[in-house]
Amino acid sequence: MGWWKKKKSRAVVKEQTWDRDQWRGEKILEALIQCCDGKPNSIKFFTADQILKATQKHFCKCNILERRQNICECSRVSELYFHGKWYSGTLDNHRMILLRKMKGRSPHPPRDICTGPPKDVAISSMVSDHKNFMKLVGCCFEFEYPVIVYYGGERQYSPVDLNKIVSWRRRMKIAEEVATALAYLHVAFPRPFVYRNMGLKNILLDKNGVAKLNDLSYCVSIPKGETHVKLTWAGKDYDYMDNDYIFNRVVSEKTDVFGFGVFMQKLLTGEKILRSFVVGRIGERRTSFRSGCPRTWEKEEWVRS
């Protein structure tokens, strides 16, 4: 009877996997129709076997955020996916790719955690040609947690580390490129997209120091003729949220402007603002760390840089 139970268990797992994949397919189609207005975009859907084949030479060797670390010691990239692991691989035409595998704390991911990646894929397909976004190849939803595939000829991306970026010039360059990416989301499409996920953790730097805005799963589109939308949930990262967003759940282009202002303050001064929301009030606490500020504080140094 043991073999019968194992066979039945495998059948149940196969049926659940089919149901999950079908549901994810529906979500990605909904996201494409909603975000792209029905316009076709080039997105390749990989099977799990293709992903494993593409990464077999690199899966246990290369962590994109820190190549010297073991792949199991991944760095956190996005709060939404808890531990997003980055891998490198090679397609059949020998083109290098980067893979971001979502990772959650629960061994059985709820459906809610898979509603963000379809939107991320849909919007990434629209902004891939912009230099300050990751260039999308496709995705794979056959794993327990989704995988998003990007072109990655360099494989040398790093997070924004204020302890290492000590010059005014480099910090201002990052700020300018992030502002350009946000402006592109606001004005490049018939309906503006509000990023509403500003933060140092969502920015990657390539080997030339070019900033790439990452994780578009929180984007919200503003309907034509409207200036804002009202959400049912305001998120959890209060550091970058304006009061209208926190109290009234109203999202507009001003939401990104406020978040970018907080980002600029952290980037240029190293000052960290910790905001909390308790019983209808906003609490704020500021902390500073010595190594977070550029070394050239003097006015004449600022002029020369």
Q: What is the mean pLDDT of each run of 10 residues along the chain (305 residues)?
A: 52 59 72 70 82 64 36 33 64 74 54 67 91 90 82 72 84 95 95 90 87 90 90 76 86 94 86 55 46 40 38
- How distant is the alpha carbon of residue 162 from its chain centre? 19
Beta carbons within 8 Å of 288's beta carbon, 6+ residues apart: 269, 270, 271, 272
pTM of the model: 0.76
Q: What is the CATH number of domain 2-151?
A: 3.30.200.20
**Residue 45 burial (CB < 10 Å; 0-12/13-18/19+)?**
middle
Phi-psi region of 122 (alpha: psi -120 to 50; beta: other; left: phi over 0): alpha
Spatial contact of 146 and 103, defined as CB atoms under 8 Å apart: no
Residues of the chain with CATH 1.10.510.10: 158-304
Orientation angle between helical segments 116-127 and 168-187, nearest 10 degrees? 100
Residues 266, 112: Cα–Cα separation, whole Å: 31
Please report the pLDDT score of residue 193 as a whole number: 95
Comma-separated ranges of CATH 3.30.200.20 domains in the chain: 2-151
Kindly indicate whether the domain formed by 158-304 is annotated with CATH number 3.40.50.720. Answer: no
